[in-house]
Amino acid sequence: MRILSIQSSVAFGHVGNSAAVFPLQRLGHEVIAVNTVHFSNHTGYGAWRGLVMDPAVIAEVIEGVADRDALTGVDAVLTGYQGSPGVAAVVLDTVARVRALNPDAVYCADPVMGDVGRGMFVLPGVPELIREQVVPVADVLTPNAFELAYLAFGGDPAAVDVDRVGTLEQLLAAVDLVRAMGPRTVLVTSVLGSVVEAGQIGLLAVDDSGAYLVRTPELPLSVNGAGDVTAALLLAHLDAGIATALARVASSVYGVLAATHRAGSREIALIAAQDMIADAPGEFAVDKVR
């Protein structure tokens, strides 16, 4: 596939395009990377240098890609953190242009907004924008459980009740609500609650063929970029079918995180664990739960 990835980037470490591009390339996909920010490092360190790209600059870069007639061959668009309405407008316009050239093109959106324990960490108005404008356009969506709860039930972004997706039945019901908005495929990351046993973390994938759950050990580490890798890998493997894609994603992401934990690294061990990306062992069982 040729994939247009519109995301943030960092010079040091692995988040955004700096996390998504390499796995896609390692799996043999051609990537056109358009950066929405260029920072020295991810913001989890608390300090960074660099700049946020003006939406007009992002649009100009994409226009230059179009000048080379390179949008014509795009099979998929991948996006992550969209920090402002201006960036979202550029993304949605670009998705429409790509689909006009290739009606079969897939839009995979990671609706980065917040997480359990952190709440929403995007600008006011962005959660509503993602729910109302981005989600209906996406073919594939990869929210975490917190983001799923907001997308499914709406309400005040500052008062998201993640307990509403704490059981498997609640989780599936929330996914159904989100799928009714537009996306046919939804992957829920960081599934906890009664859906998994203590010491585990889950991934739930749902499409027209059914709902599939995979559980992996929960590792004692906190890193940035794993969600970006997860979304990229799901998109890379979707052609194999959702159950196979889920097995490969879970195996690869766990392999990368296990290597990160062994190294005691603040950054995900993306390069060191690249064999887990290129040839995922698929050691975790995928259960069809509906």
Domain ranges, residue 33: 2-288
> pLDDT tens digit string along 236-285?
999 999 999 999 999 999 999 999 999 999 999 999 999 999 999 999 99
> pLDDT tens digit string along 175-195?
999 999 999 999 999 998 899
d(CA 18, CA 25): 12
Provide the domain count of the chain: 1
| Model pTM score | 0.97
Say which residue the tokens 């997860």 belong to: 230
d(CA 21, CA 5): 8
Do the Cβ atoms of 4 and 20 come closer than 8 Å?
Answer: no
At 244, which amino acid appears?
Answer: T
Say which residue the tokens 């690869």 belong to: 252
> pLDDT tens digit string along 1-16?
999 999 999 999 999 9
- Which residue pairs, CB below 8 angstroms and at least 24 apart, start in 127-135? 127/157, 128/157, 129/82, 129/85, 129/88, 130/82, 130/88, 133/88, 133/92, 134/82, 134/88, 134/91, 134/92, 134/109, 135/109, 135/111, 135/178, 135/181, 135/182, 135/183
pLDDT value at position 192? Answer: 84
Cα dist from 182 to 31, 79, 137, 277, whole Å: 25, 16, 6, 29
> pLDDT tens digit string along 51-105?
999 999 999 999 999 999 999 999 999 999 988 999 999 999 999 999 999 999 9
CATH number of the domain encompassing residue 103: 3.40.1190.20
